């Protein structure tokens, strides 16, 4: 990929990075909550979210997209460089968690059977099995540390992303994603959601909805565009940009009826 092409596609990469981050947080947190409950995570889920070089999963795509976004950013701000590192860290830490999950899921039950005693095994073999099981039994503690680190890094990403996205307040693709996937975005950022919107759109939160309406309208999704506009009017019915978008949509509706 040429640097010029990547920079031309920058708005899409920014939208994709934010999308991948929200999706990754949701999937990983669900697994980590399972660990909090019963000490297990699902190896298959972690395997799929990581993927392989030939079949990249969500985290792999997020890492690659972060490289495109932050390593080709002409502004080169510190927050972007930190985010690039942090997102890569989440990827690599999840690989470690995946491998530990595999060991616990596939070998721990077998070891439990062996150390109960196999009539055909020698005492020396039983002794070695017990010693090896001590190593395997440390896997859960390793998983606990990996989960703590992933949660910590994701929390720091949530703190850094709003500041970085401030320069992307005109990104219609980002605004459209926040609007259309608002439930997911809110569930990921929780108490930090209002700060996210404030950081990106300042004192004009209606801008997010207006930009989303414009993107949806240009794509032919008029009903969804009207829904976004209605949200913008709830935020600030007297806003100039809200009134302009309403006039455009009203004119389109009048043209359809005539």
User: Which of 138 and 82 is assigned the larger pLDDT?
Assistant: 82
CB 199 within 8 A of CB 162: yes
CA–CA distances in Å: residue 168 to residues 14, 84, 224, 243, 252: 8, 17, 22, 22, 28
Provide CB contacts within 8 A for 253, sequence distance 6+. none
For the chain, domain boundaries: 1-168, 172-258
CA–CA distances in Å: residue 130 to residues 102, 114, 125, 134: 20, 9, 9, 7
**Confidence check: pLDDT of 245 > 80:** yes
Give dist(CA 235, CA 222) in Å, integer: 20
Question: Span 94-117, mean pLDDT?
Answer: 76
Question: Span 35-44, mean pLDDT?
Answer: 91
Q: What is the pTM of this model?
A: 0.89
pLDDT of residue 220: 87
User: Which of 3 and 219 is assigned the larger pLDDT?
Assistant: 219
Band (pLDDT 50/70/90 cuts) for residue 128 is confident
Q: Could you read off the pLDDT of 229-243 as tens digits, one per residue?
A: 999 999 999 999 999
Question: Span 92-116, mean pLDDT?
Answer: 79
Give the relative orientation of helices 78-106 and 58-70 as an angle to the nearest 10 degrees: 160
Give dist(CA 83, CA 157) in Å, integer: 6
**Confidence check: pLDDT of 115 > 60:** no
**Confidence check: pLDDT of 3 > 80:** no
Band (pLDDT 50/70/90 cuts) for residue 258 is low
- The total of other beta-carbon atoms located within 10 Å of residue 163's CB is 17
- Alpha helices by DSSP H, the chain: 3-8, 10-38, 43-50, 58-70, 78-106, 108-115, 123-136, 139-165, 172-180, 182-189, 193-201, 206-218, 222-235, 240-257
Give dist(CA 79, CA 102) in Å, integer: 34
pLDDT of residue 123: 66
pLDDT of residue 77: 82
Band (pLDDT 50/70/90 cuts) for residue 63 is very high
CB 185 within 8 A of CB 145: no
Percent with pLDDT over 90 in the chain:
70
User: Which of 127 and 26 is assigned the larger pLDDT?
Assistant: 26
Band (pLDDT 50/70/90 cuts) for residue 16 is very high
Q: Could you read off the pLDDT of 198-217 as tens digits, one per residue?
A: 999 999 999 999 999 999 99
pLDDT of residue 72: 81
Band (pLDDT 50/70/90 cuts) for residue 119 is low
For every residue of 171-235, DSSP letters joined together read: -HHHHHHHHHTHHHHHHHHGGGHHHHHHHHHTT-THHHHHHHHHHHHHTT-HHHHHHHHHHHHHH
């Amino acid at each position: 990929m040429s640097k010029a092409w990547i920079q031309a596609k920058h708005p899409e990469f920014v939208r994709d990075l934010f999308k991948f981050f929200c999706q990754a947080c949701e999937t990983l947190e669900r697994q980590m909550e399972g660990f909090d409950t019963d000490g297990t995570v699902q190896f298959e889920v972690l395997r799929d979210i990581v993927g392989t070089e030939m079949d990249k999963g969500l985290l792999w795509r997020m890492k690659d997209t972060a490289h495109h976004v932050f390593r080709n950013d002409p502004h080169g701000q510190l927050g972007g460089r930190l985010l690039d590192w942090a997102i890569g860290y989440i990827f690599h830490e999840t690989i470690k968690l995946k491998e530990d999950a595999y060991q616990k899921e596939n070998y721990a039950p077998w070891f439990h059977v062996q150390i109960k005693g196999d009539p055909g095994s020698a005492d020396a073999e039983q002794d070695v099995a017990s010693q090896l099981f001590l190593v395997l039994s440390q896997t859960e503690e390793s998983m606990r540390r990996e989960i703590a680190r992933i949660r910590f890094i994701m929390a720091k990403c949530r703190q850094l992303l709003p500041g970085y996205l401030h320069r992307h307040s005109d990104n219609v693709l980002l605004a459209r994603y926040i609007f259309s996937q608002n439930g997911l975005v809110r569930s990921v950022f929780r108490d930090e959601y209002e700060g996210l919107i404030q950081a990106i759109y300042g004192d004009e939160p209606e801008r997010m909805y207006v930009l989303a309406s414009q993107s949806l309208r240009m794509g032919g999704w008029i009903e969804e565009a009207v829904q976004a506009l209605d949200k913008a009017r709830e935020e600030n019915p007297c806003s100039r940009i809200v009134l302009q978008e309403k006039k455009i949509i009203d004119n389109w509706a009048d043209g359809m009826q005539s």
